[in-house]
Amino acid sequence: MTCAFIFPGQGGQFIGQARSWLDREPALGEILSLAEEISGRPITRLCLEGPLEELSQTANLQPAVVAVSLMGHRLMKAAGLEPDFVCGHSLGEFSALCAAGVFDERTALALVSRRGAIMEDMAAKNPGAMTAVLGLSPEDLAAVCELARNEGPVVMANFNTPDQIVISGDLRAVAAAGKYAKMKKGKVLPLPLSGAFHSPLMAPAADKFAAELEKTDFKTPVCQVVPNSTARPTADPAEIKARLMTQMTSPVLWTQTVQALAEAGVTEFIEAWPKPYLTSLVKKCLPRASAARTEAFA
C-alpha cells in the first residue's frame, strides 16, 4: 500500500469538530491548549461550542483547523500509520508539513496563527470575494476571467475537482465573472469569505508572512511533500519553503495534486479530519478510486 495523508484547509469546519477525538483520547486536548496559548484565542471553546460564525473568522479558524488536524495526525501515528506522501489543501499544507517532520506542532500553530491574523487584516483593508464555479472547463473559465478583468483582478484560485474551480479577486470582477459563467451554463456558488485568497490581492499579506517563514527552520521531510502551487512531489526543504512563501497568491492545484499522487502509485488517501471532506474531492478527481477514506485510525 502506498499512502498519502491529506489535510484540509478552511471550509470543512463544524461545531464540535474536536469532540469525537477528545472523547476517544482526552490527552489530545493538549494540542487545543497549545493552540490557545500561541494564538491567544479561545480555540477549545470555538471548536467544541462555537458559534460557527466566530469559529469561521479567518484568524480563529486557521489555528483551530490545524489544531484538530494535528490531533488526527497523532491518532494516525498511534495506529502505526506512516505516509509515503503528504499534502494539504491551502491552509492544510501547514499540517501536512508538520506530519512530514518539516517543523513541529508548536511551529505549525505559531505560523498559522500569524498567517490567519495577517490574512484577516488584509481582507478587512482590501475586501475581495471568492466564488465556486461548476460545470465549466478550465479553458472556458479562463476566458470568463479574462472578460471580467475590465472590472478588476480575478483569477482561478482553487482547482478543486475537474468540475469545480474557485475564482478569486476584486468584488466587482468576481461578480462579473460569475455573470459570464452563468451565460456559459456554469453553476455559480459565492463563498462566505471576505478575502480574495490565492489571488494578487493577497500580495501584501504574502510579503508580510514571507518574513515570518524566512525566520523558520525547515527540516528535510521524512516523506515526499506535494506543494499546492506545483503539484509535484519534492523532499527539498528549500523548495518547500519557497513554495509556501508564494502560497497566498498562487492557485491551489488540488485536482493536479491528486492525479499526480495516483500516478506515483498512491492507493490510499487518508484524511486527517473527523468527517469526510477532502475525500469527497479525491473521489471526484479519481472516479475509479475506492481507497479514499477518513477512518484511518480505526
d(CA 22, CA 18): 6
Give me the numbers of helices (H) and strands (E) for the chain, helices first please: 13, 8
Please choose, from the candidates 229, 236, 289, the residue with its C-alpha nearest in 3D space to the C-alpha of residue 256: 229
Q: What is the structure's pLDDT at 297? A: 54
- Same domain assignment for residues 145 and 113: no
- Same domain assignment for residues 120 and 261: yes
Q: Which residues contact 39 (CB under 8 A, 6 or more apart)?
A: 59, 60, 63, 109, 113, 116
- Specify if 140 maps to a domain: yes
d(CA 298, CA 8): 19
- Specify if 298 maps to a domain: no
Supply the residues annotated as catalytic.
Answer: 90, 198
- Specify if 281 maps to a domain: yes
- Select from 143, 171, 190 the last residue of a domain: 190
* Phi and psi torsions of 224, nearest 5°: -75, 140
- Same domain assignment for residues 223 and 273: yes
- Select from 141, 171, 190 the last residue of a domain: 190
Tell me which residues of the chain have a pLDDT lower than 70. Answer: 289-298
- Same domain assignment for residues 141 and 98: no
Q: What is the structure's pLDDT at 64? A: 98
DSSP 221: P
Structural domains counted in the chain: 2
Helix 105-125, helix 92-99: angle, nearest 10: 170
Q: What is the structure's pLDDT at 118? A: 97
- Same domain assignment for residues 75 and 152: no
Report the CATH number that the domain containing residue 137 is assigned in CATH. Answer: 3.30.70.250
- Same domain assignment for residues 132 and 280: no
- Specify if 292 maps to a domain: no
DSSP 200: G
Range of the domain at 62: 3-124+200-285
Q: Which three cell numbers stand for residue 25?
A: 483520547
Q: Which three cell numbers stand for residue 286?
A: 479519481
Q: What is the structure's pLDDT at 294? A: 61
- Select from 190, 212, 238 the last residue of a domain: 190
d(CA 88, CA 183): 33
Q: What is the structure's pLDDT at 290? A: 52
- Same domain assignment for residues 93 and 72: yes
- Same domain assignment for residues 78 and 65: yes
Report the CATH number that the domain containing residue 206 is assigned in CATH. Answer: 3.40.366.10
Compute the C-alpha angle 38/44/49, nearest 5°. Answer: 150
- Specify if 222 maps to a domain: yes
- Specify if 24 maps to a domain: yes
